[in-house]
Amino acid sequence: MKKYFITGLLIWIPLAITFMVLAWIINTLDQILLWLPNGMQPQSVFGINIPGIGVLLSILILLVTGLIAANVLGQKLVQMWEAILARIPVVKSIYYSVKQVSDTLFSSSGQAFRKALLVQYPRQGSWTIAFLTGKPGGDAAHHLQGDYVSVYVPTTPNPTSGFFLMMPSADVIELDMSVDEALKYIISMGVVAPPVRKPVERPALLND
């Protein structure tokens, strides 16, 4: 009986969590409908509340925004908008920080996470997965003696939060797994391990 109960849990828990996450996303995006006048609300037009219309509206807004921003006139409008934001002290700092991160993460040419690494964190003898993000820059680089790399150590099971560290290159180990495989490994809390491959000789971390 216990075996069958656990088997049922293993089937239903992933499905339930998946539907809960999808429901949360749909309900969150449906809040965009509150921007519409009362007469244009789906409940007023169709007589019933239709979940998911906010998702379609959000996608449409993103597509139209991208279409407008892709031409010369749209680029001028974006530049004017950013010039206005640049005049607001606090907003400027927040906006450009988020913009740099989003450009790195979502740009087709960007490489937010370059390689999967093995590092000792939060203490010697404890190992975890990290991602190479580049080299230390700014004034921080002037105070670091030797060859250092910038790494991001994600938390489990939510890799969108974590810690930014600057570590000596000699203290990190490059792993023979893709970034996607490493993310699955982290999200699954170590349950879904990537396949083992034959070891190969690798060049320096930032040279390939």
Q: Is residue 27 part of a domain?
A: yes
Give 160-183 pLDDT, tens digit per residue. Answer: 788 999 999 999 999 998 888 898
Residue carrying structure tokens 């930014």: 164
Q: Is residue 200 part of a domain?
A: no
Give 120-159 pLDDT, tens digit per residue. Answer: 999 999 999 999 988 898 889 889 999 999 999 998 887 8
66 with 96, same domain: the answer is no
Query: Which whole number is the average pLDDT over 101-123?
Result: 74
106 with 156, same domain: the answer is no
pLDDT band of 200, cuts 50, 70, 90: low
Q: Is residue 193 part of a domain?
A: no
CA distance 104 to 96: 12
Q: Which residues pair with 163 in a beta bridge?
A: 153
Q: Which one has a higher pLDDT value, 2 or 188? A: 188
Domains in the chain, number: 3
Q: Is residue 178 part of a domain?
A: yes
pTM for this entry: 0.55
